[in-house]
Every structure is written in C-alpha cells, then in structure tokens.
Amino acid sequence: MFPVVTGKVMSRLQFKKITTHSLQEMKNAGEKIAMLTAYDYSMAKILDSAGIDVILVGDSASNVMAGHETTLPITLDQMIYHASSVVRAVDRALIVVDLPFGSYQANSKEALNSAIRIMKESGAHAVKLEGGKEIRESIERILTAGIPVMGHLGLTPQSIYKFGTYAVRATEKEEADRLLEDAILLEKYGCFAIVLEKIPAMLAKTVAEKLKIPVIGIGAGKFVDGQVLVLHDMLGMNKQFNPRFLRRYADLNHIMTQAFINYINDVKNKNFPNESEQY
Ligand code: KIV
C-alpha cells in the first residue's frame, strides 16, 4: 500500500515563490526541503501544484527519458529543451538545471557559457554542477554572472566510469574527510545548497551540521535539510531500479500497464469509442 496524500502541501513558511533565500529560511527554521526531478511540462505542472519546493531538471533525463545507461550522453541542447518545458509549467517552485557532462569540465569560460545558455534559453533559476574543489573556478565564474549554483558531492553519476560502480561512496575515512572538506569549500565558494548522493547517513549529518547552506540528500539518510528523488523512480514507473534508499509512492507501472491493456482490449472489442464519444 502507498501513503494516501490528500490536499495541497505548502511550505509551513508560506512562500508565494520559492527562491534560494526561501531554502535558506527553511533550513534556518528547521523545515525540510522537498525536491523532485521533472523533465516535461505535464509532470512539472502536477508537481508544482502539489507544492514541491524545488524541481531539479536532472541529467537523469538521460536515463529515464532517453533510455541511456548513464547520464553522460545527454547534451546541453537537450537539457535546455527539458528545462524550458518545465519552466512553462511552474508558478512557484525553484527550478534547478543540471549542467550536463562535457558542458563545464574543460574550463570555467565554457562552464559560464553553458550556464548562461541554460538561464537565457530556458528561464530556469539556478544550475547544478557535480564536483568539489576541482571545479572552483567554474563555480566562482558562474556566480559572478549572478547565476545561483547548487553543488553535488558523493556519488556523482557523471564520474561513473571513474568510480566503476554505483555503490555507496565515502564509506572509508579518507574519502569521507575529502567529501567534508569539499562541502565546506562549496559553501565558501558561494553555492546556495548542495546535494549529497548515496553516502552514509552519519557523514551526511556531519556535513548538514557543519554547513550553513541547505544540504539535500538522495540516499544520504534523514539528518540532512531536505530530500530529492528521481520522479520516475518514486512513482514506481521503473521496476528494475531498486536501491535501498528508494521509497515508491505509487505503482504507476502497474496502473499505466492496466490502462493500456484496457484501451487495447476496448479498441479490439469495438468498445471504444461508443455512441457518446463520437460526433
Ligand atoms: O540528475 C539527477 O536526477 C540528480 C539527482 C539524482 C540528484 O542529479
């Protein structure tokens, strides 16, 4: 059974529009931040009217929308297409867009140009980059253009071929220390929030306590300032992806399959359309 949710859930702090400052106020007030991914107009419209705080146009679109094995193939043009579809749907949520692999790693000028294209061509509100001190110049250069930056540490899927596996990161002291140091630096560079992906809950707790900016977790336990999940995973559209951290709030795979079967049967059996469904 899935939890039954009725009514619209709004921030307890009652923001008309969510900004980076609203997220900081939520952390300061101890209110958790709810973030989900979206990649298209229809889903984003539902999410926004349900009261989500942050919509991430994640490069996970490469997996769940395009069917690639990794996030690496998605292009900047494709991210802008997804982001502008989401922007047209949203009145309230803060919209953050991933800079895709290859659009910011070469140098800070390219990073700035990519971030400017996202902001100008999609109308989104902020960008997210994966990495720590190695991308300092890019973060600082993007910020000088007035573009808010969200960081992303831990399991950073754009580096999957370096990691070799999607296993939990920073379980050893050396990597945990490096992650904490990077998180502190990201705050110092000016990031307005960071995502921590698939790391031990106690390490994520330490990071969230040390940092003033909001820390949003995916597979990083309950002690952080907010949570993010990939929309298709939390809706149960994909039966193959079953990490421990994933809570499914619906079984859309089942519901949609049943709807498709019913439609096919109705067409085959000449039950659709009926008299009242024709002109
Ligand atoms: O691309 C994405 O969906 C993400 C989340 C997993 C945080 O980066």
Asked if residues 217 and 228 have their Cβ atoms less than 8 Å apart, the reply is yes
User: Taking a C-beta distance cutoff of 8 angstroms, is the pair 62, 73 a contact?
Assistant: yes
Tokens encoding 40: 């298209």
Instruction: Report the number of distinct structural domains present in the chain.
Output: 2
**186: helix, coil or strand?**
helix
Q: Is residue 8 part of a domain?
A: no
Q: 2 CA distance to ligand 1 centroid (A)?
A: 23
pTM of the model: 0.96
Contacts of 260 (CB under 8 A, 6+ apart): none
The rounded Å distance from CA 157 to ligand 1 centre is 8
Q: Domain of residue 222: give its range.
A: 20-248
Query: 234, 201, 197: which is closest to 217 by C-alpha?
Result: 197
Question: What CATH number corresponds to the domain at position 237?
Answer: 3.20.20.60
Do 86 and 44 contact (CB within 8 A), yes or no?
yes
Is residue 170, in this structure, part of any structural domain at all? yes
Q: How far apart are CA 233 and CA 248, in angstroms?
A: 7
Does the CB atom of residue 100 touch ligand 1 within 6 A?
no
CA of 218 to the centre of ligand 1 (A): 8
Q: Are 179 and 259 in a shared domain?
A: no
CA distances from 92 to 49, 50, 51, 100, 120 (A): 8, 10, 8, 25, 19
* Cα of 267 from ligand 1 centre, angstroms: 39
Question: How far apart are the CA of 60 and the centre of ligand 1, in A?
Answer: 6
CA distance 58 to 7: 27
pLDDT at 9: 62
Ligand 1, atom 2: closest residue by C-alpha: 58
Q: 193-197 and 126-128 as β-strands: parallel, antiparallel, unpaired?
A: unpaired
**Do 74 and 59 meet the contact criterion of CB atoms below 8 Å apart?**
yes
Q: What is the pLDDT of residue 151?
A: 98
Q: Is 140 within the bounds of a domain?
A: yes
Q: Choose the residue to mutate in 71, 74, 96 for probing ligand 1, maximizing ligand atoms within 8 Å of C-beta.
A: 71
DSSP structure string for 188-208: HHT-SEEEEES--HHHHHHHH
Residue with tokens 């101890």: 30
Residues 261, 143 within the same domain: no
**Which residue type is seen at 197?**
E
Residues 196 and 263 in one domain: no
Q: Given this model, what pLDDT does residue 13 score?
A: 79
- Residue 150 resides in a domain: yes
Catalytic hit among 197, 209, 275, 277: 197
Q: Which atom of ligand 1 is nearest to the CA of 60?
A: 1
Asked whether 58 lines ligand 1 (CB < 6 A), one says yes
- Quote the DSSP letter at residue 18: -
* 9 within a domain of the structure (yes/no): no
Does any ligand 1 atom lie closer than 6 A to the CB of residue 53?
Answer: no
The response to whether residue 195 sits with its C-beta less than 6 Å from ligand 1 reads yes
Query: Which residue, 80, 53, 42, 45, is CA-closest to 228?
Result: 53
Confidence (pLDDT) at 197: 98
Q: Quote the DSSP letter at residue 11.
A: -
Residue 111 backbone phi and psi in degrees, to 5: -60, -45
The protein residue whose alpha carbon is closest to atom 8 in ligand 1 is: 58
Quick one: 43 and 136 in the same domain?
yes
Domain-located, residue 5: no
Residues 239 and 168 in one domain: yes
Q: Is 86 helix (H, G, I), strand (E, B) or coil?
A: helix
Q: Is 197 a catalytic residue?
A: yes
Are 158 and 216 within one domain? yes
Q: pLDDT 10s digit of each residue in the chain, 279 long? A: 455 556 666 567 789 999 999 999 999 999 999 999 999 999 999 999 999 999 999 999 999 999 999 999 999 999 999 999 999 999 999 999 999 999 999 999 999 999 999 999 999 999 999 999 999 999 999 999 999 999 999 999 999 999 999 999 999 999 999 999 999 999 999 999 999 999 999 999 999 999 999 999 999 999 999 999 999 999 999 988 999 999 999 999 999 999 999 999 999 999 999 999 999
Question: In angstroms, rounded to a whole number, what is the distance separating the alpha carbons of residues 64 and 33?
Answer: 23
Q: What is the CA radius of gyration of the chain?
A: 20
Residue to probe by mutation, ligand 1, list 64, 199, 230, 235, most atoms within 8 Å of CB: 230
